């Protein structure tokens, strides 16, 4: 149960490249718990096809606790580029996310997950957001949705596929669509954009390596209107190295 649950957490969270690859199990009066910590170094921090570090490197970490009932909670953090978050006066360049949820299995091959997450930016709280997330996974495929229900309401829907290639190389394919409440382009007619990714992963000498290609259909003019320049939405190839404890 806990092994399947950790896979569900990894798929449902998807905040960046960190995932749950190892954990410690503890027995207590309240039942069995899995505790996992992950540290990640990445050449970029990509969020739904957009760079959150202006193409620069990212240092990320997570702490996750899962209970045998299917309940779990965790925290994830990364550096970000303050240029991407107007109102951040240089006092903070960090994102800290908190989440909790419930995951389980319908059969040996079908799992589900329902969770809530809050994304916080110290010194730039205007960009804080909350989301409700839900997903179902079966036979390597995951279909999910994430809804931000506050002022900048938007719905993110996605489909992903994971497959193990020869030599224990993991293949990950993803496609998502962000649907905003208000238009996002200069014409005022488009409130959506798509992103997609292709990734390879491999565990070597106790480290998890991943190489991921990402892109979006965001127009350069739209990206420049958001960030002041267009390179936040460029095609990207990101290398990440993770270690779980």
What is the model's pLDDT at position 7? Answer: 39
3-state secondary structure of 3: helix
What is the model's pLDDT at position 86? Answer: 57
Rg (CA), the chain: 18
DSSP of 62-85? EEEEEETTSEEEEEEEEE--GGGS
Q: Where are the domains of the chain?
A: 2-244
CA angle 16, 233, 86 (to 5 degrees): 85
CA distances from 82 to 91, 95, 128, 223 (A): 9, 10, 14, 16
pLDDT in 10s for each residue of the chain, 245 residues: 343 334 333 433 443 434 444 567 767 777 888 999 999 999 999 999 999 888 889 999 999 999 999 999 999 999 998 766 655 555 558 899 999 999 999 999 999 999 999 999 887 787 888 999 999 999 999 999 999 987 567 899 999 999 999 999 999 999 999 998 777 766 666 789 999 999 999 999 999 999 999 999 988 888 887 777 767 888 999 999 999 98
CA distances from 105 to 26, 74, 135 (A): 21, 20, 12
Main-chain dihedrals φ then ψ at residue 34, nearest 5 degrees: -110, 130
Q: Locate 17 and state its tokens.
A: 């490249």
What is the model's pLDDT at position 27? Answer: 76
| CATH fold group of domain 2-244 | Porin (2.40.160)
Q: Locate 179 and state its tokens.
A: 């649907």
Indicate the helix (H) or strand (E) that contains 137.
strand 129-138
């Amino acid at each position: 149960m806990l092994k399947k649950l950790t896979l569900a957490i990894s798929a449902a969270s998807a905040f960046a490249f960190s995932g749950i690859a190892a954990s410690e199990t503890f027995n207590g009066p309240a039942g069995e718990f899995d505790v996992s910590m992950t540290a990640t170094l990445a050449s970029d921090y990509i969020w739904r096809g957009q760079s959150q570090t202006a193409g620069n490197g990212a240092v990320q970490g997570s702490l996750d606790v899962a209970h045998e009932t299917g309940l779990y909670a965790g925290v994830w953090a990364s550096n970000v580029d303050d240029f991407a978050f107007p109102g951040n006066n240089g006092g903070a360049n960090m994102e800290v996310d908190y989440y909790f949820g419930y995951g389980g299995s319908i059969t040996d091959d079908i799992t589900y997950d329902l969770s809530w997450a809050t994304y916080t930016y110290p010194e730039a709280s205007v960009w804080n957001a909350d989301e409700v997330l839900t997903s179902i996974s079966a036979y390597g495929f995951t279909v999910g949705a994430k809804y931000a229900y506050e002022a900048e309401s938007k719905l993110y829907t996605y489909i992903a596929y994971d497959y193990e290639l020869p030599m224990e190389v993991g293949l990950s394919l993803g496609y998502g669509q962000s649907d905003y409440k208000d238009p996002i382009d200069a014409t005022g007619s488009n409130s959506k954009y798509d992103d997609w990714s292709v990734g390879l992963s491999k565990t070597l000498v106790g480290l998890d390596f991943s190489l991921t290609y990402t892109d979006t259909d965001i127009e350069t003019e739209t990206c420049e209107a958001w960030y002041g320049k267009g390179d936040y939405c460029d095609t990207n190839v990101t290398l990440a190295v993770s270690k779980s404890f």
